Amino acid sequence: MRRQTVDERRAEILETTCEVVIERGFAATRISDVAHKLGVSTGLIHYHFENKELLLAEAFKFAARQDIDRVAARVGEVPTALAKLDRIFQLWAPEQDDYAWMLWIDSWGEALRNEAMQKISQELDIQSKGQLEAIIREGVVSMEFRCDDPTGAAWRLSALADGLAIQMAAHSGIISRAGHRTHLRTAAIAELGLPADAFVSKASKARRK
């Protein structure tokens, strides 16, 4: 059997750490938990990661980068800025047992106590918000949107998305995925100077006539 490379072993450790975190949360995850799940010694984990704080931060980075890349790929499938905006709203609405969102939300709490997590989660949060800002700027250039402050609009809309997602994750039944998306659409109409029916499909508009 071929031996794993250093990068392959590191990726396996990070992926397994994410699985443990989803079960236990960042705060309750121990290096011994990860080692046990992998069937290796704690010494092997320490060989790749200096301490638990760094392991947790790098595990979140590993998962969040995949999430950001997935969003970018899906957003790139649609042609207009408005369609991209609605696509990112759809992708940002948590699904049931949405492990990516669980990790994002838990990372914010861990960042209060973990300096490495604070740095990494901030960098990734800015990248995620940058995806929305890029869409808004594209819409301004194409004259689909009217917005004098794309950066501020992106932060306000993403803050709303994050807040709603926390409610969905923590309080079952408080808000639906459709409700999450509706709130974001309503806010976007105000932020970006869109007509009230901007997110209504052409077919629905035709039926109204």
What local confidence, expressed as pLDDT, does residue 150 receive? 98
The answer, yes or no, to whether residue 171 has pLDDT greater than 90, is no
Q: Please report whether residue 163 resides in a domain.
A: yes
Distance CA 4, CA 2 (A): 6
Q: What is the pLDDT of residues 13-72, one digit of tens each?
A: 999 999 999 999 999 999 999 999 999 999 999 999 999 999 999 999 999 999 999 999
The terminus-to-terminus CA distance of the chain in angstroms comes to 67
Find where tokens 């995949």 sit: 66
Q: What is the pLDDT of residues 33-43, one digit of tens each?
A: 999 999 999 99
Q: Is the pLDDT of residue 207 over 80?
A: no
| Mean pLDDT within 143-172 | 94
pLDDT of residue 195: 96
> What is the CATH classification number for the domain harbouring 63?
1.10.357.10
Tokens representing residue 148 in the block: 């004098």
In a domain, 16, yes or no: no
Mean pLDDT score of the chain, rounded to an integer? Answer: 92
What angle do the packed helices 81-92 and 115-141 form, to 10 degrees?
Answer: 150
Per the domain annotation, does 37 fall within a domain?
no
Q: Is residue 28 part of a domain?
A: no
What is the mean pLDDT of the segment spanning 196-203?
79
DSSP string covering 25-39: -TTT--HHHHHHHHT
What pLDDT was estimated at residue 206? 42
Residue 19 lies in a domain: no
- 12 pLDDT higher than 50: yes
pLDDT class of 1 with cuts at 50, 70, 90: low
- Is residue 167 within 8 A of residue 174, CB to CB? The reply is yes
Predicted confidence at residue 142, as pLDDT, reads: 97
Tell me: pLDDT of 128 over 50: yes
Q: What is the pLDDT of residue 173?
A: 80
User: Does residue 34 fall inside a structural domain?
Assistant: no
Position 10 in a domain:
no
Using pLDDT thresholds of 50, 70 and 90, give the confidence band for residue 2: low
**Distance from C-alpha of 191 to C-alpha of 172, rounded to nearest angstrom:** 29
Cβ contacts of 101-107, under 8 Å, gap ≥ 24: 101/165, 101/169, 102/22, 102/169, 103/18, 103/21, 103/22, 103/60, 103/63, 103/64, 104/64, 104/67, 104/165, 105/165, 105/166, 105/169, 106/21, 106/25, 106/26, 107/26, 107/60, 107/64
Give the total number of structural domains in the chain: 1
At 204, is the pLDDT very low, low, confident or very high (cuts 50, 70, 90)?
low
* Tokens coding 24: 């236990």
- Domain of residue 101 covers 53-208
Whether 110 is in a domain gets the answer yes
